[in-house]
């Protein structure tokens, strides 16, 4: 395995439809992820549900991050430095399961996504490498 | 002296915990998954019963936020509560540690050049509680002591497979030098193939998973050398959790026998793999 950090990180950009949670993303998403984490406390969930924009005023998010949180746009949140395990606190507070939330990122309906999983999931065929197309 | 006798691996999907907690294990969606654990439930509460389980898992942004990212963290307090992950804590018993053995392992590993992070106050999430529920069901109290060992597989880079293997070897040396007569298991959890983000979410790779299960006994050296990029390409972004299985495998040493295996797709978004290995001398 490459121990050169530049080579190591460069490989990750070659995986279709995947954002590896690198340090660059972790730094960009620091406050977004910390905000999401705050929803682990019942009293915070209550305040969040009562007034989402006011709750977000307490966190130094970028305008794009704020908009994507309010829109529950999870692909965009991941592009803006969110990590799925942190973001799961937002959709859990909404009462969504991982299957329900994850399906919103795939362009399929929840039912179609669930059916695909029951039928054995998404094949990795053609989805391993952008450059090499296998 | 303490004896390391067996290793168990299992996926730790949160929906499995929810199915147990909500009495859904016999529903058609879940029945096939749970039937594959029946053999282990009987064995682990009968002839294979451990006094202590060293349970390797990853924290899913529950105890550790972006403020603290320990690569290897060992829980050393006397007890740990189930975490509130956004829908209230799971209704599972609190976890009682074997704190003497946990501190012994922490000290030995540091002298053995593994600089462990020591944690006292830490709630344990589904990564730790779902494997306990799968093996022990829904008792009033867990029937053994549990040492939590949390591995960072969220923020990159996680530890290499080889490093995980070597930590397992160091843990085995530490267990062997603990003076109390104890039957100790090492459980490696997480995996198998799954991806929870982006347009590629839902990826499952059954040939990769089955080869991984095979090679825990047939060719563990291949697994030990597998680079992170291969996990990511083949097993999905969250498939990287499988590096944690290699701590278990490294701890068991060169000679093992497979006692039981189960593979099932899907649980939620995930391929579930489970194997029981006996350590041979």
pLDDT one digit per residue (tens) for chain A, 134 residues = 778 999 999 999 999 999 999 999 999 999 999 999 999 999 999 999 999 999 999 999 999 999 999 999 999 999 999 999 999 999 999 999 999 999 999 999 999 999 999 999 999 999 999 999 99
Query: Can you list the pairs that A114-119 forms with residues at least 24 positions away whose Cβ atoms lie under 8 Å?
Result: A116/B202, A117/B202, A117/B204, A117/B265, A117/B266, A117/B268, A117/B269, A118/B29, A118/B266
Residue B154 has pLDDT above 80, yes or no: yes
The predicted pLDDT at position B210 comes to 98
Q: Do A78 and B233 touch (CB under 8 A)?
A: no
Give the alpha-carbon dihedral of B194, B197, B203, B209, to 10 degrees.
Answer: -20
The predicted pLDDT at position B88 comes to 87
- Between vectors from CA B5 to CA B1 and to CA B6, what angle results, nearest 5°? 150
List, as ranges, residues 34-73 from A with C-beta within 8 Å of B.
34, 36-37, 39-42, 45
pTM above 0.95, yes or no: yes
Model confidence pLDDT, tens digit, residues B159-190:
999 999 999 999 999 999 999 999 999 999 99
Length of chain B measured in residues: 281
Band (pLDDT 50/70/90 cuts) for residue B260 is very high
Q: Catalytic residues of B, which ones?
A: 126, 194
What's the rounded mean pLDDT across residues B22-37? 97
ipTM metric: 0.95
The predicted pLDDT at position B87 comes to 81
Chain A contacts of B193, Cβ < 8 Å?
121
The predicted pLDDT at position B85 comes to 86
List, as ranges, residues 180-199 from B with C-beta within 8 Å of A.
193, 195-199
Distance of CA B105 to the CA centre of its chain: 17
Distance CA A84, CA A73 (A): 12
Q: Do B86 and A122 touch (CB under 8 A)?
A: no
Find, in chain A, the residue whose alpha carbon is nearest to that of B85: A40
Chain B contacts of A38, Cβ < 8 Å?
none
CA-closest candidate to residue B51, choices B10, B120, B100 = B100
Mean pLDDT for all residues in chain B: 97
State how beta strands B270-279 and B3-10 pair.
Answer: antiparallel
Helices B161-176, B245-252: inter-axial angle, 10-degree rounding: 50
C-beta atoms surrounding B32 within 10 Å: 13
Q: Do A98 and B268 touch (CB under 8 A)?
A: yes
Model confidence pLDDT, tens digit, residues B36-92:
999 999 999 999 999 999 999 999 999 999 999 999 999 999 999 999 987 889 999
């Amino acid at each position: 395995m490459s121990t050169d950090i530049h080579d190591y990180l460069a490989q990750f950009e070659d995986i279709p439809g995947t954002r590896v949670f690198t340090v660059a993303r972790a730094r960009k998403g620091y406050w977004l992820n910390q905000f999401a984490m705050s929803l682990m406390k019942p009293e915070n969930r209550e305040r969040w549900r009562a007034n989402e924009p006011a709750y977000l005023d307490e966190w130094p998010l970028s305008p794009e991050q704020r908009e994507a949180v309010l829109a529950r746009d999870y692909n965009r949140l991941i592009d803006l430095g969110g990590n799925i395990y942190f973001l799961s606190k937002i959709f859990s507070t909404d009462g969504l399961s991982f299957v329900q939330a994850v399906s919103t990122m795939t362009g399929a309906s929840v039912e179609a996504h669930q059916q695909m999983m029951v039928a054995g999931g998404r094949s990795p065929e053609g989805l391993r490498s952008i450059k090499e197309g296998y | 002296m303490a004896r390391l006798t067996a290793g168990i691996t299992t996926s730790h999907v949160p929906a499995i915990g929810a199915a147990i907690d909500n009495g859904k294990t016999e529903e058609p969606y879940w029945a096939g998954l749970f039937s594959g654990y029946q053999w282990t439930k009987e064995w682990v509460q009968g002839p294979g019963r451990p006094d202590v389980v060293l349970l390797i898992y990853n924290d899913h942004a529950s105890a550790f936020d972006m403020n603290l990212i320990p690569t290897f963290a060992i829980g050393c307090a006397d007890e740990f509560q189930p975490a509130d992950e956004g829908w209230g804590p799971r209704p599972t018993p609190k976890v009682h540690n074997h704190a003497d053995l946990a501190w012994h392992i922490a000290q030995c590993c540091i002298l053995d050049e593994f600089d462990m992070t020591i944690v006292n106050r830490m709630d344990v999430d589904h990564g730790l509680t779902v494997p306990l529920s799968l093996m022990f069901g829904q008792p009033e109290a867990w029937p053994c002591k549990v040492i939590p060992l949390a591995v960072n597989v969220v923020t990159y880079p996680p530890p290499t497979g080889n490093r995980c293997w070597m930590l397992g070897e160091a843990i085995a040396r530490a267990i062997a030098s603990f003076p109390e007569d104890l039957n100790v298991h090492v459980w490696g959890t997480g995996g198998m193939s799954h991806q929870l983000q982006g347009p590629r979410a839902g990826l499952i790779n059954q040939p990769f998973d089955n080869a991984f299960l095979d090679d825990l006994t047939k060719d563990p050296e291949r697994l030990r050398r597998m680079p992170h990029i291969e996990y990511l390409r083949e097993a999905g972004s969250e498939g990287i959790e499988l590096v944690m299985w290699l701590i278990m495998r490294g701890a068991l040493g060169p000679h093992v026998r497979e006692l039981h295996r189960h593979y099932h797709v899907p649980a939620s978004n995930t391929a579930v793999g489970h194997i029981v290995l006996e350590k041979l001398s």
